[in-house]
Amino acid sequence: MTKDLVTGTLVTCLAVTVCALVPIAGLMGAALIPVPLIYYRVKIGRAGRIIALAAAGYILLLGGGIEFFFFGALLLIGILMGELMERNWPLEKMTAVICGAVLAAAAVGLYVFSLAADQGMLETLDIGVRRQLELTVRLYREMGLPQEQVVFIEDGLDLIRQVMIGMLPALVIGSTLISVWVCLLTARPVLRRRGLPFPDYGALDQWRAPEMLVWGAIASGVLLLLPNLAAKTVGLNGLAVLTIVYFFQGMAIVAYFLQKKQVPRIARVVLYGLIALQQILMLAVAGVGFFDTWFNFRKIGKPLAPA
């Protein structure tokens, strides 16, 4: 067990270090940071919590600020997924609890940081978002983005900052949903290959969002039409989160039909890559997931036609 604790801690801290020091790696691979925590929590049991605590201490040594919120949330996702998977919680319930826990932890952490800095919570949040946007602009420069596009982004930083602060709940929940989804797809084959237990969530290409969420999407759309700014902000947050949920349902539909048509694996990888890179395709997939509520493209729950 000691060997597993040391190995798990080193792997997790190394992943955090790479994502913190290499911006591109942080954008592409940060969602995978919880996977080692899930693996060792399942493998060695409750002792796996020590890995999360050690990694959290390491993040504090790297420095506080928004980075601590970001990586701390990923550690929380990993340890909670391991805990709840061991208890065979339903997928939707597990995901909802993790989103709530991350959102609550972010609020408490922001409050503590604001007290330590002798600032208001909004001021602390504003400073953190501003700093992150400046780092993002610097990253765009290093990536060779055309100068006129970088200048355009710089001119709109104040507006982007205001929107990000208003959309912070959706950003936290949305990024948590994406991380849970990525970890689920990654941890399942790893655990099964090692002969470790994994909950039976069924075929993921058969997954559907709860039908009641349609009313949430409709209510969010109505709030956007109201003149009140607070109502618009709530509606925009709701639509952003539900768009991600229906994107997952749309991806399940895409995976179902690719499997049904026996499309080669390399072609699937190319298609998934295009969807990840093209926002129009992502919105189209989310639209397919939303309308699946009525059209039931995969005919789930319907009896087979007679031969």
**For all residues of the chain together, what is the average pLDDT?**
87
Global pTM? 0.87
- The tokens for 34 are 């919880």
Q: Cβ(208)–Cβ(61) under 8 Å?
A: no
Q: Cβ(55)–Cβ(12) under 8 Å?
A: yes
Q: Which of 285, 207, 214 is nearest to 244 (CA)?
A: 285
Kindly list the distances between the CA atom of residue 204 and the CA atoms of 66, 151, 195, 248, 296, in Å, as whole numbers in the listed order. Answer: 33, 43, 20, 10, 16
Taking the domains of the chain in order of start, what are their residue ranges? 1-200, 202-301
Q: How far apart are the C-alpha atoms of 172 and 76, rounded to whole Å?
A: 13
> How does DSSP classify residue 65?
T
Q: When comparing pLDDT for 163 and 262, which is higher? A: 262
**Residue 131 confidence (pLDDT):** 80
The tens digit of pLDDT for each residue in 24-76 reads 666 667 888 999 999 999 999 888 889 999 998 888 887 656 677 788 899 99
Q: Cβ(26)–Cβ(70) under 8 Å?
A: no
Mean pLDDT throughout 192-219?
90
Roughly what angle, to the nearest 10 degrees, separates helices 213-225 and 229-260? 140
> How does DSSP classify residue 265?
H
- The tokens for 147 are 């100068």
Mean pLDDT throughout 136-165?
80
Amino acid at 245: V
Q: When comparing pLDDT for 161 and 264, which is higher? A: 264
Report the Cα 16 to chain-centroid distance in Å: 16
- The tokens for 47 are 């002792």
Mean pLDDT throughout 276-300?
91
Q: Which of 42, 111, 107 is nearest to 79 (CA)?
A: 42
Mean pLDDT throughout 165-173?
91
Roughly what angle, to the nearest 10 degrees, separates helices 49-62 and 34-44? 150
Q: How far apart are the C-alpha atoms of 131 and 117, rounded to whole Å?
A: 16
